């Protein structure tokens, strides 16, 4: 089989006012962290999430760091995180001098398993970070119940889930504070960028102070605390605002892509497909398939075969407990669900510009390779 086509795993779709708003920044010379688009983007994103406050920053990892610092996380603290997530979730905890404590995945949604959280709570536990993995929201009610019972904070890491909904509420509006990423492969992008959102006035104020070098908001160039230069540029915010104006279009296009994948792959005995629970709206940041045990080829071998046909893919994240900086934290513990997903999961091309013919081609090739491995 030979083809000259190349289908990337992700690509931004910039079909709104992005060009006009960026040119406006250039024409006005407001290109740094001051300028009208930062405030407009923050205000619009807060409204999009259904929260009072949104503070833009330079990337999603920074957003997590700001949220943790605003909540007072420091040395000797522990923060519970899912082991199946991008490494930034644990790294941000480590930046604070705290210790990430890992929890296995729930087998249907692949998110953190609420039933396993309570067993990981100790006297040092400060809070819980949930990750709305690949666009499907976490089952938040039991998580919030555990957190309130033990006086813990909850951070929603919604980097992959812009616009996802839990029981009719947008992710980012349920926990104490939430973070988003706007990297180039995300549902809404600014190239690089992040956002912290919350309904808590004090937390919002702290985040804004920390991201601006710790400057006193009422006394210019007075720095009562050590802060960081974590601000977003006006140019990035201009792109983000234009993207946000078409957020529902971006989300619905991804849901349509997911529908095409379901139609082509739903009856395949070699693949487990993502779910959408009855209480959820999945926004499918990535359409992910998991190779069942009847597929004898390795996940990486299947990915190499797809690459040879011009289909770019990504592996599901390696669980954090397997990574060199963190494996010493979980010696002797088992995370069977996350380990299986991390070894057998493949992220297929998922972005708004894909056509039905692209998905049909991807699925045809994938089915041939998994069928030929039995």
The residues annotated with a catalytic role in the active site are 186
Query: What would the two tokens of residue 114 be?
Result: 């609420």
Distance CA 290, CA 269 (A): 11
Query: What would the two tokens of residue 286 be?
Result: 């990535």
Name every residue whose Cβ is closer than 8 Å to that of residue 197 and which is 6 or more positions away in sequence. 45, 46, 49, 51, 53, 54, 55, 172, 173, 177, 178, 179, 180
How many residues does the structure list for the chain?
A: 374
Query: What would the two tokens of residue 206 be?
Result: 């702290």
Instruction: Sort residue 234 into left (φ over 0), alpha (ψ -120 to 50) or beta.
Output: alpha
| Residue among 247, 252, 250, 241 at smallest CA distance from 281 | 252
Taking CA atoms, 330 is separated from 75, 112, 169, 173, 316, in Å, by 19, 16, 34, 31, 20
Q: What angle do CA 244, 246, 250 make, to 5 degrees?
A: 100
Distance CA 237, CA 160 (A): 18
Looking at 222-264, which runs of residues are DSSP E strands?
none
Distance CA 236, CA 41 (A): 10
**Residue 291, H or E segment:** strand 287-291
Q: Are strands 153-157 and 177-181 parallel, antiparallel or unpaired?
A: parallel
């Amino acid at each position: 089989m030979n083809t000259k086509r190349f289908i990337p795993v992700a690509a931004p779709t910039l079909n709104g006012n992005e060009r006009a708003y960026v040119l406006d920044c250039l024409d006005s010379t407001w290109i740094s962290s001051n300028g009208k688009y930062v405030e407009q983007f923050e205000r619009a994103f807060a409204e999009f999430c259904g929260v009072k406050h949104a503070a833009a920053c330079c990337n999603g990892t920074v957003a997590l760091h700001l949220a943790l610092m605003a909540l007072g996380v420091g040395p000797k603290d522990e923060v519970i995180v899912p082991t199946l997530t991008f490494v930034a979730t644990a790294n941000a905890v480590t930046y604070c001098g705290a210790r990430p404590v890992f929890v296995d995945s729930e087998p249907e949604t692949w998110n953190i398993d609420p039933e396993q959280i309570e067993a990981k709570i100790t006297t040092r536990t400060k809070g819980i970070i949930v990750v709305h993995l690949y666009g499907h929201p976490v089952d938040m009610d039991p998580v919030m119940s555990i957190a309130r019972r033990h006086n813990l904070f909850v951070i929603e890491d919604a980097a992959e889930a812009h616009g996802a909904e839990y029981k009719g509420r947008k992710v980012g509006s349920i926990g104490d504070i939430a973070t988003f990423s706007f990297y180039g492969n995300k549902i809404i992008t600014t190239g690089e960028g992040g956002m912290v959102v919350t309904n808590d006035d004090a937390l919002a104020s702290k985040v804004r102070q920390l991201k601006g070098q710790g400057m006193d908001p009422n006394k210019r160039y007075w720095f009562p605390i050590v802060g960081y230069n974590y601000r977003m540029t006006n140019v990035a915010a201009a792109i983000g605002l234009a993207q946000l104006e078409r957020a529902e279009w971006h989300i619905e296009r991804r849901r349509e892509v997911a529908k095409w994948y379901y139609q082509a792959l739903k009856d395949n005995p070699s693949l487990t497909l993502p779910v959408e629970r009855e209480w959820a709206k999945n926004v499918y940041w990535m359409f992910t398939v998991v190779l069942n045990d009847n597929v004898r080829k390795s996940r990486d071998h299947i990915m190499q075969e797809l690459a040879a046909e011009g289909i770019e893919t990504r592996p599901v994240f390696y669980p954090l407990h397997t990574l060199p900086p963190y494996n010493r934290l979980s010696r002797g513990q088992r995370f069977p669900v996350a380990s299986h997903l991390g070894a057998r999961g493949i992220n297929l091309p998922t972005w708004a510009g894909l056509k039905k013919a692209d998905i049909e081609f991807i699925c045809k090739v994938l089915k041939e390779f998994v069928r030929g491995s039995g």
